[in-house]
Copies of this chain bind each other. A is one copy, B any other.
């Protein structure tokens, strides 16, 4: 499969962005390719299209499966596995957020809690303890809020975002202006 210039641009950029966020370049490139292509694709074709080693594709596909971003599809009369990703960008977004939250956010909250229950700190520095408390409070707030937002329908979520800062007015309807 030959990529047109726009597809190339998109995929290469996505790969670079992935790197900046701690995602392997090949992994993000493959995902971008499957998203853009929109149809199930066998590993070999990915290999040829992106011009990377077959084994590299295999590893990356497994990684993408661990992230719940792609799934295997079988095609009649073809023994090979075909791989596809959701073409719903909202679903992808939610999956990525959910996974990162579970992998990195939640464990960090755990560590912060441990830090606070440990006596070593409380004896030494009350201000530092306070700061850890505030960090934990922020992260927990983000965490539960994130969970709730992820449960909303994409359209609802979009409306929430469109509301934007106007939400202030709805919060404490004591004053009007």
Contacts and interface: CB of A to CB of B under 8 A. Distances in A.
Interface of A: 4-7, 9-10, 13, 17, 19-22, 35-38, 87, 89-90, 93, 103-104, 108, 111-112, 114-115, 118, 120-121, 124, 127-128, 131-132, 134-135, 138, 141-142, 144-145, 148-149, 151-152, 156, 158-165, 167-168, 170-172
A121 B13 contact: no
B161 A17 contact: no
Contact of A21 (B90, B104, B168, B172): B104
A164 B138 contact: no
B156 A171 contact: yes
Contacts of A114: 9
Contacts of A19: 22
B17 A20 contact: no
A9 to B, nearest CB: 6
Question: Which residue among A112, A114, A160, A167 has the maximum number of chain B CB atoms within 10 Å of its CB?
Answer: A167
B171 A142 contact: no
